[in-house]
Amino acid sequence: MRKYSQVFLKNKDIAKKIVNLFTELNSGNRTVEIGPGKGILTAFLYNYYRENLTVIDIDPLMIENIKKIIPGIKAINDDFLKLDLDKLNVSYFIGNLPYHISTAIIEKLIRYRDFKLGVFMLQKEVARKLISDESDLEYGYLSAMVNLICKTDYLLDVSKDDFFPVPMVDSAIVLIEKNKIIPEAEFEKYLRFIGYAFRHKRKTLVNSINLSTGIEKEKIIKILEKNSIEPDIRAEKLSPQELLDLSKIILP
């Protein structure tokens, strides 16, 4: 019985490619693997990082299995979403992220001030959203959240047939690399703003912000016009930087 809805990568060639991509970007720094599962990535990672590798999995059976396969490995049985990342003292992350919480994990990492780089397996649809910009149909909250302060790249397609049990969708490998630092309070305000902005997909930015916050439409329209932005624009047509600039002016 799969208590945690896991699917496991079974293709060792793909696993090796993923680890090779990661090691090219992270030459030996302390690393966390999120959700090692049965350890197909872990074995390759441990050969490279040794004592600098820590694995974290919510499933105690997976952790027990990893410890049997690789005696002495640093392994934590815990819910990654509840962990205090400051205590890990790690800036580099890799993992086959569970589909149902992948966005939550990415948001936690993006908020973590010491995060530098991650290589992750995601559902292909989520991967496309992650790397999109305001010219793409997939652009939305996830894209705006990550790409304000990070570089993202689509690295590799992974077929659903490379997993067991076989999931219903294909996956992809993506890179997230922090390339910009902004003050924490400013970023938190930005996240609130884009949450409001993208909450009502079929509505204009003015209507979405008004419905979400109660800020008067006339006030928002004046701000948009002052910044040479059409009052009927939707959030999906604004870049992360434009959304950041507006968040500073519109939100109290």
Say yes or no: 45 and 133 in one domain: yes
Q: Is the pLDDT of residue 213 over 90?
A: yes
Say yes or no: 22 and 142 in one domain: yes
Say yes or no: 195 and 162 in one domain: no
- Rounded CA-CA distance 93/110 in Å is 12
Say yes or no: 136 and 225 in one domain: no
Say yes or no: 77 and 151 in one domain: yes
HSE, CB side, 13 Å, CA atoms: give it for residue 5: 8
Give the count of domains, the chain. 2
Say yes or no: 42 and 86 in one domain: yes
Q: What is the CATH number of the domain that holds 223?
A: 1.10.8.100
Q: Is the pLDDT of residue 6 over 80?
A: no
Q: Is 117 left (phi over 0), alpha (psi -120 to 50) or beta?
A: beta
Q: For residues 75 and 47, is the Cβ–Cβ distance under 8 A?
A: no
Say yes or no: 218 and 157 in one domain: no
End residue of a domain, out of 127, 144, 178: 178
The domain in which residue 35 lies consists of: 8-178
- pLDDT tens, position by position, 112-160: 999 999 999 999 999 999 999 999 999 999 999 999 999 999 999 999 9
- Classify each residue of 161-190 as buried b or exposed e, where b means 16 or more C-beta atoms within 10 Å of its C-beta: ebbeeeeeebbbbbbbebeeeeeeeebebb
- pLDDT tens, position by position, 30-87: 999 999 999 999 999 999 999 999 999 999 999 999 999 999 999 999 999 999 999 9
